[in-house]
Each structure stands twice: as C-alpha cells, then as structure tokens.
Copies of this chain bind each other. A is one copy, B any other.
Amino acid sequence: MRINAHYLELKDDYLFAEIANRVSAFQSAHPTARIIRLGIGDVTLPLPRTAVEAMRAAAADMGETSTFKGYGDYPGYAFLREAIAGYYQTKEIALEMDEIFVGDGAKSDLGNILDIFGPDNTVLIPDPVYPVYVDTNVMAGRRVTYVNGSAENGFLPLPEESLHADVIYLCSPNNPTGAVYSRSGLKRWVDYALDNRAVILFDAAYEAFIHDPNLPTSIFEIEGARRCAIEFCSLSKTAGFTGVRCGYTVVPRELTADGVPLNKLWLRRQATKFNGVSYITQRGASAVFTPDGLTEARANIAYYLENARLIREALSEMGIWFVGGENAPYIWLKCPNGLGSWAFFDKLLTEAHVVGTPGAGFGQNGEGYFRLTAFGARDNVVEALARLKADF
C-alpha cells in the first residue's frame, strides 16, 4: 500500500506549537509574570442563551421515542436551511433550499469541497492566508499560485489579468488581516472568475462582524457571483459555535462546469462521505437565527468589536500602522522599528508579557507583520494595551 505522497510535501504546521513553546519557556523562567494572550483565534464568551435552551430541549427530544431523531437529511434539516435562507433574505439574497448545505464547520467544508474538483486545476491564494487553504491543496497535489497582499493594497489584493486561475480563495473579513473587500473589489474578482471560468471559494466565516452597511457580507451581493462562487459560512464566530461545530455552504444552481452542476456533485460528496450534523446542534443553530438569538449573538460580537476598537485606538496613538479591527475581530499591524515578526513576538512577550501571532506564520508577505485578536476578555485587553503603550 502506498501513502498519498503529497502529504510529505506539507510544511510542518509549527506556528502555534512554536508560540506555545516560547510562551512556556518564558513563563518557566519568569513564574510571576502575568501573561496576556491577544493571539487567540477562538471565541471566549458563552453561547447565546436561546441556543443553549434549544440544544437542551433537543437533547431531551432524543430521549423519548415519540421525538427521537435518527439519520437526518444529508444537507441538513429543513428547519435550519429555512432559517439560513431567512438570514440571507435579510441581505436581500434569495436562496433555494437545495442550494444550502449544513455542515460541521467552514473548515471541514472548505477542505472537503476540493474533492469535487480535478487535481489539474490551478489554485490562486492570497498571501498572507489562513494556512489550510494551502495545505488542503498541497495534499491533493494541485499547483498553487499566490496574489500578494501588502500595505500598498491594504492587504486586499485584486486579480492580475495576466495570471490564469481555476480555483480562487477569498476570505472577507480576512483571517489573518481583518481587511474587508468593498463591493467594487469583489466585483473585480467575480468578473475575473467569470472570464477565467474559475470558481471562487468565498470564506465568509467572519461576515457577522461587518457593521458598515456599505461593505458586502456575502459574495452573492455581487452580480454574476451565482455563476462562479461557493460561499462558506459558520456559526463559530457568528455565535460562538467553535466547540459546537456548525457551518453552512451555499452552492448556487447556476454554478456548473462542463455542463455539470457543482451543486449535485457536492450533494453526492456529502451523501457518500458525510452523514449530516447532529440534530441537537442543528436545533441550536436554528435558534441563533431567531430574533432573540440574533440579538444575543450580536451583543457578543459588539463586545469583541469594542475590544478591537480599543486595540485600534491604542495602535493609532502609538503611531503603528495597521489594517482590520473595524469590521473584523483581527487587527494586522506592522511591527514597529522594522522588526521581523518573530523578533517583535519575543519583544512583546519578554517586555510586555503579551502574546500575539507572528504574521510570518501566514505566508511570506506576513513577515514584518503581526496579528492581534479581539476575542479576549475586556480587562485583559485594557491591561495589555496599557503595557504596550508603556513599553513601546
């Protein structure tokens, strides 16, 4: 038996392990130092009460013969798909039920969707980038080319007409930079995809952090996107579901290749290699889309965005260049004094006892940059910023 040799081409996934090692070494040498983590990519506030109550009731359903649920539909229960369609309606986007697929998270679907594409496609990925876009394609042996994010384009690269691509990754609001594409920026990408007969894999996991009404929260707000884009979204950051696992993927009916609807291929993939999401989880997710659920989820997001505002304010006062943090939980800053990402990491850790994420871990254009996140507790954010201002 032979292994998939492409796995041997993967780079070691060492970013967060290396961070943990350095933090642990410092803490051992300085046991009294109170380290504050502003590098965390996970939510910290508890779930909306309505989601908790819905899941408790659903668990009880599973204990009674009359309300017990076995296998559900592969693409998800109608009650949840209707709730998701209702959410899109508030964005003035009309979806059919068979365009919506409930899954166990955007990460799973973003990885698994590649199953329906041939290995001989050229993949275009912005740098810096969420590392799994690259790794999942390396695993399949696909050619990967990059477009460059930079301070000059505000880390929102636009298509280069000279470059051909078949599969394009976009993430807006962006992880790791927090930058958000405008409608005209996304229109450029949609037009480019249509010209290249390419598909855009649009990662909208952070869409709920957009409060500026001029910014698009879905690729399907852009004309032509239904013929070239798949959208991935998640309850993880919208409602704190990182530990509950529920996402959804929208594959429009118009999206075809060689006359084959991708929608049907994805349904076949899911029916063959997946068995749906827990009924309990789906009840919790559908509760998030009720008026009470949305109000509670948005209160949590407002808390994180206030953290982000405090971080932006402090960086501005310190004269440090940054993007993000306005409609996103991530703030992407230029390391002061021309420091490299890891040098700044060490300085921040040893002098301010604050932990962030070196930008170099997200691609070569990340070198010299640094990611802070807004997912911490308010007291810690305030304390960390006071230390930064005192030390830099």
Contacts and interface: CB of A to CB of B under 8 A. Distances in A.
A243 B71 contact: yes
A351 to B, nearest CB: 28
Contacts of A118: 2-5
Contact of A44 (B2, B70, B284): B70
A299 interface: no
Interface string A121-152: 10000000000100110010000000000000
Please indicate which of the listed interface residues A10, A45, A70, A119 has the most CB atoms of chain B within 10 Å of its own CB.
A70
A275 interface: yes
A244 B116 contact: no
A281 interface: yes
Interface stretch (A100-108, A175-183, A384-392): A100-108
Contacts of A107: 273-275
A272 interface: yes
A229 to B, nearest CB: 12
B166 A272 contact: no
A198 B265 contact: no
A188 interface: no
Given A46-B68, A47-B63, A272 B111 contact: yes
Contacts of A281: 278, 280-281
A136 B74 CA distance: 16
Interface string A148-167: 00000000000000000011
A15 interface: no
Given A2-B121, A3-B262, A70-B43, A108 B280 contact: no
A119 B7 CA distance: 13
A33 interface: no
A138 to B, nearest CB: 9
A203 to B, nearest CB: 14
Contact of A59 (B4, B55, B139): B55
Interface string A182-224: 0000000000000001110000000000000000000000000
A7 B116 contact: yes
Contact of A273 (B5, B10, B111, B244): B111
30 contacts: A1-B117, A1-B166, A1-B199, A1-B257, A2-B258, A3-B258, A5-B118, A7-B268, A13-B268, A44-B68, A45-B65, A45-B68, A46-B62, A46-B65, A52-B62, A52-B63, A55-B62, A55-B280, A69-B243, A70-B243, A71-B242, A104-B274, A104-B275, A105-B275, A108-B274, A111-B274, A244-B278, A244-B279, A245-B276, A280-B281
Top 4 closest pairs, chain A to chain B, by CB = A111-B273, A52-B63, A42-B70, A1-B166
Given A55-B55, A72-B243, A243-B276, 5 more contacts: A2-B118, A4-B265, A68-B240, A139-B272, A278-B280
